[in-house]
Each structure stands twice: as structure tokens, then as C-alpha cells.
Structure 1
Amino acid sequence: MQRKLFFLPLLFIALTQAYAQSTLSVEYIMRDPKWMGTFPSSARWDDASKQIYFRYNVENDPADSLYKINLDNPKAITKVHWPEENSLRKNSASLNAAKTHRLFLEDQTIKIEDLAKGTETVVLEWFQNLSNPSFLADENLVSFTSDGNIFVVNRSTGNVNKVTRISNGSKPKSRERSSDKTEELGFLEKDNLNLLKVVNERKEAQKASRAYRESIADSGEEEFTYYTEGKNPINLTLSPDGNFATFSYYERPSSNKSTKVPDYVDASGYTTDLNARSKVGTEPTLVEVGIYDLTRDTVYFIETSDLPGIKDLPDYVKDYPEKTWEEKERDLVLSQLYFSPDGKNAVINIRSTDNKDRWIAQVDLKTGALKNLDRQRDEAWIAGPGIGWSFSGGTMGWLPDNKHIYFQSEESGYSHLYLLDVTSGKKTALTSGKYEVFDPFISKDQKSWYLTTSEVDPGERHFYKMPLMGGKMEKLTSMTGNNNVTLSPDEKKLAIIYSYSNKPEELYIQDNKVGATPTQLTFGQSEEFKSYNWRDPEIIHFTAEDGAKVPARLYAPDPAKKNGAAVIFVHGAGYLQNVHKWWSSYFREYMFHNLLTDLGYTVLDIDYRASSGYGRDWRTGIYRHMGGKDLSDQVDGAKYLVASQGVDADRIGIYGGSYGGFITLMALFTEPDVFKSGAALRSVTDWAHYNHGYTANILNTPEEDPIAYRRSGPIYFAEGLKGNLLMAHGMVDVNVHFQDVVRLSQRLIELGKDNWEMAIYPVEDHGFVEPSSWTDEYKRILKLFNTTLLQD
């Protein structure tokens, strides 16, 4: 179904387009992105720090392939063939503490590689599948997992010891000795034994022999085995000292109902169902972490009931005075254990399933009891760079001294790196300020940190070096934009995938020194792409209604071409940053904004409340009200355009996809006097129908906090539509289901609205793939704006 609207004479469209022209067109920019050139990604080094591998596409393959540059001849880019690419898989295997040797698997064989010499030695040839070979603290010992148990091989002797005995079955009932049984004989057998002496003697001899064998079998203690009673333990790990093993149980409630997305264009010719996520409000997956004490042959589980605040209720309960809230221990998600290098201590990361608490606790390995080291409470939800989600602990580990742990926290309002002394409980912030830290790791000599931060500007990323225990950070990169650095194994070189606002990613190399000059290695832009003068949008800040300074990208047209109309773009994901100085993942939209600006439109791209890169308060600004501050930021952006950019208040449009589509709907339904037209792409229309992991953090659950859902759902405000609405959605979208716009369409029909239309894309998921779909969608968006915003 498609509803046709916006009827204007073709002559008017031609006249409006004649006012300003562009060398760009929707058909031109929405082609297969290969026309733009080829741009590197996923850089990594070889072990000798002589070659850089990266994804690239010089030969116009159907997808990016692996290429390499040898530093001895940096101008030559060579395609890597499968045997060499396959051999690189061992780069992710286990390294020893000094990072001089590496364990890796080839089929059912564990091998060790001397990284300096490049030689390989067989550690063990095993008779069945195995995984996770790891050095213990005594690096002569190597652990691995096979058949649901942990084994340890001694590299010197070759001896293999099975150190855990775990069975998925049930513990067998104790046996009753046959000699203890009273043997009941039938008439015929009794008569036969009485009559035939030899047969009777043989019968008694068999009984005596069986009793003797049983007495031998019972003379020693039965070997300990832990029976899981059908549960499936995963994440089986051995402590570095070899004294403890840990594992996890995950219990996924069977009551959770998944959803189905019909595929009407399946190759079979039949309509098929695609399996998709469940909806918000599902029961959480429960996690138990077990400890297997190998010295005492016993298994016990981590006990969480003494965690501080485990029964705390959220603040929003005050909005429901009529409801009785039960104080009880909240459900928790437990990470794996993080063992100290010597294996004598361990910590664990624990999160409440309502995501309002995160505890970092020390584990008593002999009892499973916890000692809380750090509790982070957020009445909105715990998140931020390096803090992790769900089952991940994010940035977390131990220093070599077996005394300090490190982690990231938003305690200051921004995600920073911390140390905590487990012996004294003292916590130290290694970084501080109104910026965020990304991907910290410890140097090979274990004396320094390497980390990326936004200290220079929220719209830039730079790579730094800092002393292990804290101190002055040395800024190693200098190019304005995004510097995505991969450090060479010898830590002498930086491979940098760099981009700027109007320049896609290219690969650079630089010495690991402050002030060193980077050298560009790839030049991937096509001549066709370079022929257009792509804009470097100005980053501005306007004042929101609550006084906040809102960052935005401004595309200002040539004054001679300005048509008085404006378009506001709303990025997706909610928690995402698009106002920055590097090449955007929204590159199609970026090119479309250049086209709009050529045609005389003023374009504004806003990092509204909930966007990433600006700290905790910005991130959580939408808590319990999506379509609140995130929408008012768009309204204030429109006011800025009118006040300072000469935009006509009656000629402002808005568009975006996913979360941006949601905001577009809220804008047209609740702020119809501000936005004349909008294109809502792959939009959430009712948050009660979205997934649990994302939505429950922001709005809690529909059952517990219906107020939050009622004021955040566009479908509840559809009667407010006055302007012109285009909805576009892929029919096989397994993220935001097509059902969302179907339900909203029915609501608009029932409300008698006739100023809307819907474009459907039968073969597209949430992220469109086909150039024809992109072209069709953006031709409709451009037509919407041209026909409704340029009319006097």
C-alpha cells in the first residue's frame, strides 16, 4: 500500500529546482559506495612489526579483502591470499607474560611459537577437540579445555593431567553390594544345586570372586566428580596458580517469547518467518558463577546476598504511590572472574539486571564470599565508554604487582580510568576532566598505559601514553580528526587509520614519539569522488531551553542560493556521536546534506541529549522520557536557525532513521508548529515493542513504569500530525520491526489523517543494502522537502 500526497504541478517543481543547481543528484550519491574509492579498516601488524595488514578493496571485489604493506616498500599494496590470511588467526592466541611466546591451535594440536625466532614447537597432539590453551603462572604448564573439563600439560615432560572432573549427568545412586543381597532362588535352581555338587561349587566360587572384586573396588576413596544435573557449564577457566577452576551457568527463562518477521520475498516463493528478538519486559537471563576448589575437591557458588544496596528500590517508584513495592534482592548478572597474575586473588564485575548498580568485588576463592570494592549507582542506568554491557566487565584487569586492579567508571560524570588497591581499598583516578577515555591497555614492558581520549575536543580522538601509576599524558598523534591507532608489537610504530570531516579513512604510519610526523600510506579516493568539493561542516553550539550548549554540524549554503528552508537531521542509535571532525558512518546522509546545501537549504545535524561523547549527564538526559530533551534540542536547533541563519520558521523539515525516525515522528506529532515536514525512516513507533537490552535501561519496563512508555511513544500522539509525513521501512527489519509502522499506519487511518505516505522496501533489513533502495528512499525525501518547504 502506498498513499499518494503532496500534489504540486510539475512546473512548480521545475521552477524551484531552477533556483539552485548541484552537480550531485540522489541517483549519483546513492550508488554502490565503491564509486567513492576504497578505504582501509581493521589495521593490524605482523609479529615482526614489519608489515601492516588491513581490509581494503583495490581489485573491485564483491567485499573488502585483506591487504598488506611491507614497511621496506611502503608504496606497494599487496593482496593477501587465503593461506597467509589463515595463518594470521593465531595472532589472537594466548601470550605469555613477557609476550615473547604464543600458544595457538592447529586442528587438535597445541603449538608454541617463539616470536623472536619465528620458530614453532608442538606442545601436545590431542585425540579430540580442545580449546583455550593458556599459560599458567608457571609457564612450563599449559592449561586447555576439552570435553567439558580442564587439562594441564607439562611442557617439559609431556605429561597431561585432568584437573577437573565435571559431568553433565546426575550423581549415580550408591551401589548395593551383590554380596549383601539375600539371593532368592527359584524351585528349579534350588533343586538343581542340591542335586549337582559341581554346579553348586561353581556357583559359590562365582559369588566369592565377585565379592572379592567389589571389596577391592571399595577399598579406596571414590574419585571426586562434580555432577551438574544436566546444566551446561561454560567459561571454564583455571586460575594461574592451578588451584581453582571457575565456570558459569546461564539460565534463560523459557517463558520469554521471541518474535517473527515475515519474509515475503524468500527465494523459495513462500512466505517464511525470520526469527527475531523478544520485546522489552522479558525475564532476564540469570547467571551463577561456580568455583571448583581443586585442592579440596569441592564446588561452591559465589554468594551475592551481602552486596551493599542489593535490595535498593529505584527512585521512580515514588511516581506509583498506589503500588506496593517489595524489597527483595535484585536479579544480577555476573561476569567471569578476573584472576591476579599469580592466581591468588580474583575480582568480579556484577551488575543488577535493572542496570542501576555495578559492583566490583573481591572474591574469597575458598568460600565464594564477596568483599565489595566499588559500588557505582546510577538512578538512570550504568553505561559509558569502557564500562561494558550485560555480561562484559568492560575495561578491567590487574596490574603486574598482584595488588592493584584497574577499571573505568563514570563516577566523575565522565568515563575515566581508575586504579584500586585491593589490600587497602584506596581508589585513584588516573585520568580526570571533562573528556572520556577509550580502550586503555598496558605497554609491553608493563610500565605505561596507552589510551585514546577526547581531551582535545569532544569531536577529536587522539592517542596518548601515560605512566602506569598515573602522571602526565603524552599526546602521540597530531592530526585533527579521528586517529584510530594500532601499536606495533615492538611498540616503535603507530599504524593510524585517520579521517577528517570531509576526508574518508586513510592509513598512516608514524614513529611512536611525541611530535613525530605521520606518513600517508593509502590514497583511496577515486578521481570521481575527489572532483566534488565536499564541505567541511562548521561545528557550532546553540543554547537549549534549559541553558545547555548543544553541539551541531552546520551546512550553510551560498548566500546567493539560500532558499530560506532548512532541514534538521537526527542521527540514529540515540547513544551515538555524529558532531565530530572525522568521516561519518552516515556518509550517504553527509553527501545528501551537501546536495541539499547546493540547492539552497540550510542543514543542521545535532548531537542531541543522549548522544555519546559528552559524559554521563548528556548520555542519561532522556531517562524515562524519550522524546523529551532529545526532541526539545531539535526544537531549539530550529529556533537557532531562524534567529541566526535567516531560515523561514515555516520552512523547516526534519528527518532521520531508527532513533532519528522516532524523533521525527515525535516532532511532527508534538511540535507541529515547528516542523512542517518530516521523513521518518525505520522508526520505532512504540517503545513497548522494542528490545529489552536497550529500552529497559532508559524507560525501565512497561509493567513497572508505564508512565515512561506512555509519554515516549509516538503512536500515542499521532492525533497531533498537521504537517507532511513520509514513513519508509524495510519489511524484513529484524531490529525495528515492520509491525511498528503498520500499527502506526492503522492509527493514522483511524484518526482520518491524509497528509502522510508510506514507502515499503520488501528486501531490506534495518540497514539498507541495495543502492536501488537507498536511491528510491532519498528521492522521496528530497521530493518531500522540495514540494512542501519551497512552496510560498
Structure 2
Amino acid sequence: MNTSKITLMFLFFVAVVSGQQKITIENIYGGTFRAKGMDELQSLKNTNQYTVLNVDMASRTMQIDLYDFATLKKVSNLIDTKNHKELEDGIDSYTFDASEKKILIACNSKKIFRHSFTADYFLYDIASKSLTKLFDFQIQEPTFSPDGTKIAYARENNLYVYNVASKASTAITTDGKKNSIINGITDWVYEEEFAFVKAFDWSKDSKKVAYIRFDESAVPEFSMSIFKKDLYPTIDTFKYPKAGEKNAIVSLHLYDVAANAVKKVDLGNYNDFYIARIKWTNDSNILSAQVLNRHQDNLDLLFVDGTTAVAKVVLNEKDKAYVDVTDNLTFLKDNSFIWTSEKDGFNHIYVYDKTGKLKNQVTKGNWEVVSYYGFDEKTKTIFYQSTENGSINRDVYRIALDGKNKVRLSKNIGTNAATLSPDFKYYINTFSSASQPTTYTLNEAKAGKEIQVIENNQALAEKLKAYNLPKKEFFVLKTAKGHDLNAWILKPVDFDPSKKYPVFMFQYSGPGSQQVADSWINSNDYWFASLTQQGYIVACVDGRGTGYKGADFKKVTQKELGKYEVEDQIDAAKVIGAYSYVDAARIGIFGWSYGGFMASNCIFQGSDVFKMAIAVAPVTNWRFYDSVYTERYMQTPQENASGYDQNSPINHVDKLKGKFLLVHGSADDNVHLQNSMQMMEALVQANKQFDTHIYTDRDHGIYGGKTRIHLYNKMTNFIKENL
């Protein structure tokens, strides 16, 4: 037998034994492992139906299709882009009016920041199949009035009302100006940290529009160069309040549509405050507003009289650390309301009467309500998602308004979420686990019985068999200091316990976050799996400060961001390093954003534990980050200088011993490149060698074109060379 035949047989033998097709970065970011979903799934309110945005890849067209909840059968196609040349670029998103007879369709969206965008909008009449472009310019956040006769929208920092019948627009405001005054749309820091863009709302009778006005003229500006391929770079300048600096001055206003007049709500009792949410109640003349002090440890729920514009406090929440803003505020028919709060130490559901008097705490226990799904008025039943079966799991429940007759509707261990039918008889359950791709099923809402599978991603599961992915093993890691921390570990599929393996640790660690969760894997997980194919063990630990284990666990890091979290990662690495199959001299750590802040701190302060680290888009000093996020956990630098300085990695660069890769996007509007530039200078002056890469014109996500492929190949090579 000749040598070449022996070599071929050996290679065949190795392939069969390992049973693994190699995962490449090109696979991961080229769509090889993309799961099927139900895009833009919306549950209708007037009929027992739902809609999905479908894509026909063959004809390169998109459809908004209508389905029946009870049978899952397609009822009709509401619109197909092939019939409308104006929509040849596709549909980005859509919203219905209250009658669900008209649809607002967004196309050609142009991103502004993380959530905000402008777009071309079309008004579609379902019955007549007529499609009308609203304007020859792009707008933001168009919203139907409840009676469907008008559409409020924002353009260039001003608010307008468009009359559907006359096709005429009326300006609500005229003083909007870039980097000065914004009406009805949030400023940068509200959008990023309070996670909303539309800062206006219609009253239930369609007679008034409430809106927030931002005067950001005194807010310091941040500028960054945009290079493109031009001879001279341009400068992008926007208002960005850093910790301890001036915020936008906010005010609340009520616009009367018929009178074309605006009244300002008197909030004179407040100073240096945030209006974190506004929402009209079921009483057309009462607006609710959530107002936070700058420390964010005192929240008032206000009811504002729509006629007099006078506000009164109906509910107050205080916390020694901070109060989380809730999106779960739901008004019942009598204007009593449902509210979620972690005031008993865990996030739970409460019911208050219309005056703000507590009627009942609906859920109780040492577990968290994660999502509130809705209230069935007929049966007085609340539907919600919680961590009752373990902080890494999610289950769907129903419970009576009085807190009795609780029923667990979901049956599978992992992550379950629900989209309820309008009559609350059915729900679409979205389930996944670390070993099960996302599955959509129709379930009845009384006991959770599965009626039919909608999509189980079986094709993806079959494809993945060839890759023989490593199993994510979940466990609780106990540190030497006695802290119980959720963790997972990935080992090579040909794992040999008699060998010594290098370990690559991943974490995020930010307040209230979670990386150790039993849900389907993402692109990072595929990358980690590819690392196991190259002989690495990958591990992840959620330290103190992360979420879903109660307020005390989450808020222990208050005023000390980066202290206990770093301690826990170093201690966890020591525990893992003591495993018989781990080479304790070859442990690395990686993180992005807050995780980059952590990875930097770990390689500096844990220099005897970590051999290498990769930090992507890290905060290097909390003084450089925005006011709302940073002060929520740290107060201001003027009040807590030591908390800022003692835990910032930029002040620990002299301790670096291992290999360090620092990555940032030059157009990061969130964690500014300034963070990495100043850290580079600190490292240089400490005479510490390091590696770095700046991605031109990329924002905090560092993506677009081949960017992610380049980044992950760079990080893979850095690991192989240094771990």
C-alpha cells in the first residue's frame, strides 16, 4: 500500500472519529446557521388573527400575510410588494390603525442611532388596495390617532399632525433645531438608556397629543470624524451628556388638536429630572408620566389633567440604589392599573386602583417576573413570563388578578415566550434551549396544551448534525469567597479528561444583564464552538451585578462598577483553573462594551491569572460615558470620585503582564473611541506592549460588509497565537 493511500485513510479515519465539519467565521456571518423566524409578528386586536412579514427569496418580494390564530391557516395576503413598484426595495416595518383597515408601511429606513431612524412611509388601505406615499421626504415615528383620521409624526426636531382625508399637515411645534431643541423625539441619551424614541402619545379620544420637549442647547457636544473615501473627513457633532455634565432640560406639553393650542404641564416641583415614560390612561383626559430624579432612586408616577395641565403624584417608588423604569404599566377599564416593581427584592406584578392605592400584590416569591404579556378582562387573568423555574430559564404563566389559580403554561425547560391572541384563548409559544433551535407552536391558553407546530427549525437542526456542536453544560460555580454564580462551559467533543486544556472565558457582566441562559445559541456561540474544534475550552460566568437573581444580587455593585464583577471573574478563573483538565497558565478572557471594560480590568488586575484578553469597544473610564447610565449606578464623578477612578482599567495599565488586544470602531457614538485612545496612551506611557485595531467608520456594533468576518478572524488568530 503506497504512502498517499495510507495518508488518505488516516485523514478519513480522523474525520469519522471527530465527526465534525469545521465551523468557519465565514459560515457564521454568511448566514449558514440562520434560523427561521416569524418576522414582524403582530397580534391583531379586533379579530382573532395575527400577521407576519414573509419574504419570497425566489421572486425577491415581501408579503404581509394574515393568519388565523385558531387554525394557523393563512387567511389572506394583505399586501405583496410585487404588486407595488414603489415597494421594490422591500418593507422594513409596518403598523396598523385601530380599525386594522389601514397600514403604515416603512421603507428605505436610514439609521440615526441605535433605535432611531427616518424612513419613507406609505399609507395602505386594505379594502381598496390603494397605496399612497405620505410625503416626498423622510419622517420619524408616524403614529395613527385612535380614530384613524390623523397621523402624528416628527420631522427635523418638530412635531406635526397629518390629516388623512385632506392630506394636509399642521405643525404642533416650530422651534425644533439640530443640537438645540427636539420635540416629540428623544435625545441621544434617552434613546440609548431609557430605550425609547417616540416621545409623544395620542389621547384615547384622539383630541390631544402629549409630547416631551428637549432643550439640549446647554448639553456639551461630542464630535467624531467620518472618513468614508473622501479627500477630507467630515465631522459628526451631536449632544452627549457625560457623567456629571449638563443634561437636556425636559418639559411636558399637551397639544389640543381642535384648538391648535399647546399647554405646558407644571413640573416646577422637580429639578434636574428625567421624564422616562409618558402614556395616556383609559380616561381620555388623564395622561400618565414617570418622572425620575437625576440619581434615579426616586420615581413618581404622575397623573396629568388634560384640561388644566395640572399634575399630581399617584405612586412613588424609592430605592437605596435605583428604581427601574417599567414598560408594564397597563390601565384597566376603570383606570386602575397594573405595575411591576422589585420593591420586595424581586420584580413582581402589583395592582393599584385609579387613585394609586395598592389593591394587591399579584405575584410573590424569590424569582423574577421578566415580561408582562397582558390582561384578559373577561376572566380577570394576567399572563406573564418569569424565572420561577430557575434564573437561567423562562416560563409562561397565567394567574388571576387576585393572585390565585396560578398555572404554568409552558412545558419545556429552557426559554419560553408568548404572543397572545386577542381573545386570550391561544398563544404562540416561542421556545428554545441551548440544544434546541427556536420552535414556534400554537398553544391553548387555559392549560398551555400544544395544538400545532408552526416552525421547529428542523432543517437547521439536521444541518448542524454534521458540525457535531459541543454541548453547553450549565452549572453553579462557587467561588472561594462563597458566591454562587451561574456558569456554562463548552468542551471539545473529543474531550479527554487526562489532558490539560487552555480556557477562553467570555462575559458581559453589566448591571442586570445575563449571558448564562438556557436559550438557543447566537453567532458568538458558534464562534466559541469553532474554538472548541481548535482545542480550547470556553466558559462563561455571570458574576454579582448581573440580573434575574433578585435586587440584592444585582445592586451589590452600586457606586463600585467594576469592583465585585472583576473580583468574581478572577475568582471564577481560579476555580476553573483548578480543574484537573485545565491548564491554569493558559486562561484568557473576552468581552464587548461593558464586557470590554471587564476584560481590560481582568488582564490588568488579574495579571497572574489571565494570560491574554480581548476588549472590544470598552469603557475605560466611567467619566467618559453618558450621564443616564453611569449615574444610575455610580452617581456623579463629583459625588463618587473614588468609585470612578479605583475601578477604571485606564488607571491599572501598569499591571499588564499578558497579551492584550484592544478593538474599537472609529464612529462609535455610544462608547466613544476616546476611551480606547486614552487607554492606548496610558499603556504607551506605562511602556506596555499591546495590540490594537480601529475599524473605520464603524459604530458600537462594528459590522457592515466583511467587517465582522475580519474582526472574528483577527480575534481567533490572536487567541491561537497567545493562548
- Shared fold (TM-score greater than 0.5)? yes
Which of 231, 234, 238 aligns to 1:272? It is: 234
The answer as to whether partners of 2:218 and 2:248 remain within 8 angstroms in 1 is no
Query: Residue in 2 aligned with 1:673?
Result: 608
Which of 584, 599, 602 aligns to 1:664? It is: 599
Give the % identical residues.
22
CA apart distance, 1:759:
2.6
Question: Secondary structure at the residue paired with 1:484?
Answer: strand
What letter is aligned with 1:253? E
Q: 1:514 to 1:289 in 2, by over 3 A?
A: same
Q: Deviation string for 1:639-664 (max 9, x for gaps)?
A: 22133454233221111111111111
Query: Residue in 1 aligned with 2:658?
Result: 723
Query: Residue in 1 aligned with 2:496?
Result: 559
Query: Residue in 2 aligned with 1:471?
Result: 404
CA apart distance, 1:531:
1.7
CA apart distance, 1:93:
2.2
Q: Deviation string for 1:161-219 (max 9, x for gaps)?
A: xxx998969xxxxxxxxxxxxxxxxxxxxxxxxxxxxxxxxxxxxxxxxxxxxxxxxxx
Q: Which has the higher contact order (CA 8 A, sep 6+)?
A: 1
What letter is aligned with 1:777? L
The answer as to whether partners of 1:562 and 1:601 remain within 8 angstroms in 2 is no
Residue 338 in 1 paired to residue 342 in 2? no
Q: 1:87 to 1:588 in 2, by over 3 A?
A: closer
Question: Secondary structure at the residue paired with 2:501?
Answer: coil
Query: Residue in 2 aligned with 1:577?
Result: 514
CA apart distance, 1:495:
1.9
Work out the number of aligned pairs and report it: 650
CA apart distance, 1:359:
1.1
Query: Residue in 1 aligned with 2:353?
Result: 421
CA apart distance, 1:667:
0.6
Residue 448 in 1 paired to residue 381 in 2? yes
CA distance in 1, matches of 2:516, 2:121: 49
CA apart distance, 1:442:
1.9
Residue 714 in 1 paired to residue 649 in 2? yes
Which of 191, 210, 224 aligns to 1:261? It is: 224
1:288-687 mapped onto 2 (5 Å cutoff): 288-290=251-253, 301-304=264-267, 329-333=271-275, 335-336=277-278, 338-339=280-281, 341-343=282-284, 347-363=288-304, 369-383=310-324, 387-388=325-326, 394-402=327-335, 404-423=336-355, 425-437=357-369, 438-443=371-376, 445=378, 447-517=380-450, 519-524=452-457, 525-526=459-460, 527-544=462-479, 547-557=482-492, 558-559=495-496, 562-571=499-508, 574-584=511-521, 587-644=522-579, 646-687=581-622
What letter is aligned with 2:96? S
CA distance in 2, matches of 1:108, 1:603: 46
What letter is aligned with 2:662? M
Question: Secondary structure at the residue paired with 1:254?
Answer: coil
Query: Residue in 2 aligned with 1:198?
Result: none
What letter is aligned with 1:251? F
CA apart distance, 1:246:
6.4
CA distance in 2, matches of 1:613, 1:681: 25
TM-score, length-scaled by structure 1:
0.70
Query: Residue in 1 aligned with 2:4?
Result: none
What letter is aligned with 1:380? A
CA apart distance, 1:552:
0.9
The answer as to whether partners of 1:143 and 1:150 remain within 8 angstroms in 2 is yes
Structure 1 residue runs without a partner (length 5+): 1-16, 96-100, 136-140, 159-163, 170-229, 311-328, 389-393
Q: 1:257 to 1:62 in 2, by over 3 A?
A: farther
CA apart distance, 1:291:
5.8
What letter is aligned with 2:382? W
Q: 1:439 to 1:50 in 2, by over 3 A?
A: closer
Which of 701, 705, 708 aligns to 1:767? It is: 701
CA apart distance, 1:783:
3.5
Query: Residue in 1 aligned with 2:3?
Result: none
CA apart distance, 1:245:
4.8
CA distance in 2, matches of 1:298, 1:29: 57
The answer as to whether partners of 1:571 and 1:656 remain within 8 angstroms in 2 is yes
The answer as to whether partners of 1:263 and 1:271 remain within 8 angstroms in 2 is yes
What letter is aligned with 1:281? G
Q: 1:350 to 1:422 in 2, by over 3 A?
A: same
Deviates more, 1:574-583 or 1:714-723: 574-583
The structure having more radius of gyration, on CA atoms, is: 1
CA distance in 1, matches of 2:182, 2:637: 32
Question: Secondary structure at the residue paired with 1:746?
Answer: helix
CA distance in 2, matches of 1:56, 1:352: 44
What letter is aligned with 1:93? D
Q: 1:289 to 1:277 in 2, by over 3 A?
A: closer
Query: Residue in 2 aligned with 1:81?
Result: 80
CA apart distance, 1:37:
5.1
CA apart distance, 1:567:
1.5
Structure 2 residue runs without a partner (length 5+): 1-13, 106-119, 176-180, 186-198
CA apart distance, 1:717:
0.9
1:80-159 mapped onto 2 (5 Å cutoff): 81-82=80-81, 92-94=96-98, 132-135=144-147
Q: Deviation string for 1:600-633 (max 9, x for gaps)?
A: 4332111223323223223323222222111111
CA distance in 2, matches of 1:689, 1:377: 28
Question: Secondary structure at the residue paired with 1:379?
Answer: coil
The answer as to whether partners of 2:219 and 2:239 remain within 8 angstroms in 1 is no
CA distance in 2, matches of 1:372, 1:710: 38
Deviates more, 1:421-430 or 1:589-598: 421-430
The answer as to whether partners of 1:277 and 1:735 remain within 8 angstroms in 2 is no
Q: Deviation string for 1:207-256 (max 9, x for gaps)?
A: xxxxxxxxxxxxxxxxxxxxxxx9968977675579x9564452323122
Deviates more, 1:547-556 or 1:756-765: 756-765
Q: Deviation string for 1:270-294 (max 9, x for gaps)?
A: 4233445623334222233346899
Query: Residue in 2 aligned with 1:3?
Result: none
Q: 1:346 to 1:728 in 2, by over 3 A?
A: closer
Q: Deviation string for 1:13-62 (max 9, x for gaps)?
A: xxxx9999964244454441245454444423467868654456673899
TM-score, length-scaled by structure 2:
0.76
What letter is aligned with 1:735? N
CA apart distance, 1:500:
1.5
Q: CA RMSD of the aligned region, Å?
A: 4.6
CA distance in 2, matches of 1:250, 1:335: 13
CA distance in 2, matches of 1:508, 1:520: 4
Query: Residue in 2 aligned with 1:696?
Result: 631
CA apart distance, 1:581:
1.0
Q: 1:44 to 1:134 in 2, by over 3 A?
A: closer
CA apart distance, 1:722:
0.8
CA distance in 2, matches of 1:252, 1:108: 28
CA apart distance, 1:707:
2.0
CA apart distance, 1:76:
13
Deviates more, 1:687-696 or 1:266-275: 266-275
